[in-house]
Amino acid sequence: MSNKKALVFGGGGFIGSHMVKRLKSEGYFVKSVDLNYPEFCDTFADEFLIYDLTNPESFPDIITFAENETYDEIYQYAADMGGAGFIFTGDNDAEIMTNSGLINMNLLKAQLDQNKKLNTNNTKIFYSSSACIYPEYNQLDPDNPDCSEGSAYPADPDSEYGWEKLFSERLYLSYSKNFNIPVRIARFHNIFGPEGTYDGGREKVPAAICRKVANSEDGIIEIWGDGMQTRSFLYIDECIEATRRLMNSDFIGPVNIGSEEMVSINELVKIVGEVANKEIVPKHIDGPLGVRGRNSNNDLIREKLNWDYKMTLKEGIEKTYHWIESQLLGE
């Protein structure tokens, strides 16, 4: 067991709350900071602070464990984000870029000031970036997208969310280069699983389809676009394991954390239908889509961390669908 101390920004969210749970299982003292408590479970954190991380005023107190003592690790998941219905409409671009950018700048500036004050530099910071940083021009072919880490430049993300994530990657790398702050950066590829948002406009594709299938009485569900756009999806437990390996390594990143099991959205609908034991027919309608194709390339993480995903998409969907169905039934 560990005597380490961790601070989790965004610990009330989907991925952050799962990381809190994992760290506690390893014996960490964990403090979580977010605008809200976890929506679907109690927090496992030793302390949970409700705070707006776009406000820099209390950051010196937040990042201090005790007088003259810092946290061993900080996990930065906090962001203004959501699914395609939130990111790709264009209506939320200024809010996304401002809020997420401020959180990252506030964190790094406060940690730098703390390091100078205490003459230390021991706090390792994890930053959760996104596959949305990859250029749109490499993701036009749904059958052959290029999302290898080296393909990020020349930069051309298809959303302001992706541009902010790319800027923040460079921000963390700059603080590492100029001030020797230890950082680790991962690009997440569509993380899904139980205890994630499944309604309200900010949910990701697997959760939205699971909800629609569970609620469907006539076997027809609405799907944005022609359903031929492709994606890969990684189950939450796999994401947490890969992140812990990255934090325990000497590799900075950025590195993809995702699955290489690419499917079309129509194929995803079929998988969810099979899990639900329902005949599902997608009704294709207009809606925000994002890129035509996206799939994780795991060559680098296999080389550097000896990590690879183990769970099939269908296995993850089975766990997720039955959890969402139970939520809808009020169980």
Please provide residue 283's backbone torsions phi and psi, each rounded to the nearest 5 degrees.
-105, 115
Instruction: Give catalytic status of residue 161 as yes or no.
Output: yes
Please provide residue 7's backbone torsions phi and psi, each rounded to the nearest 5 degrees.
-120, 125
What distance lies between CA 114 and its chain's CA centroid?
Answer: 27
For residue 275, how many C-alpha atoms fall within 13 Å in the half-sphere facing its CB? 25
Among the listed residues 42, 59, 60, the one whose alpha carbon sits nearest the alpha carbon of residue 51:
59
- The C-alpha atoms of residue 151 and residue 154 are separated, in whole angstroms, by 8
Please provide residue 56's backbone torsions phi and psi, each rounded to the nearest 5 degrees.
-80, -10
Among the listed residues 106, 128, 3, 2, the one whose alpha carbon sits nearest the alpha carbon of residue 60:
106
Catalytic residue among 28, 127, 134, 161: 161
Q: What is the secondary structure of 143-205 as a DSSP string? A: TS----GGGG-S---SSHHHHHHHHHHHHHHHHHHHH---EEEEEE--EE-TTS--SSS---H
78, 13 contact by CB (below 8 A):
yes
Q: Angle at which helices 93-118 and 160-179 pack, to 10 degrees?
A: 10
Q: How far is CA 140 from CA 158, 257, 297, 301, 308, in A?
A: 11, 21, 16, 24, 26
**Tokens standing for residue 299:** 């060559």
**Tokens standing for residue 269:** 């609908």
Is omega for the bond preceding 182 within 30 degrees of 0, making it cis? no
Which residues make beta-bridge pairs with 17? none
Question: Known catalytic residues?
Answer: 161
